[in-house]
Amino acid sequence: MMVGDKVFHKDYPGKHGWIIMKTNAKHYNKPVYVVYWDNISEEGNVNKSSSQHIEDALRMVKISK
């Protein structure tokens, strides 16, 4: 995975985000990624947030061209 990849969390497949940073921090000897989530609620409100995850928790979004 690399910065700019579109991903989702394995436990929350309906919410997509983008990797915005790969940190030097290590968790169980694995790099930590910062993901920017751009979620739209059922009411239409935009909830922008970011969180940190190891690669095992993230899955790539398949984008068809």
Going from N- to C-terminal start, the domains of the chain cover: 6-60
DSSP 10-57: TTEEEEEEEEEEEEEEEETTEEEEEEEEEEE-TTS-EEEEEEEEEGGG
What is this structure's pTM?
Answer: 0.78
pLDDT higher than 90, residue 44: no
Do 20 and 36 form a contact (C-beta atoms < 8 A)? yes
User: What does the pLDDT look like over 3-39, one tens digit per residue?
Assistant: 999 999 999 888 889 999 998 877 778 889 999 987 6
Calpha distance 9→56 (Å, rounded): 9
| Average pLDDT of the segment spanning 34-54 | 78
DSSP 61: P
pLDDT score recorded for residue 41: 61
pLDDT score recorded for residue 42: 61
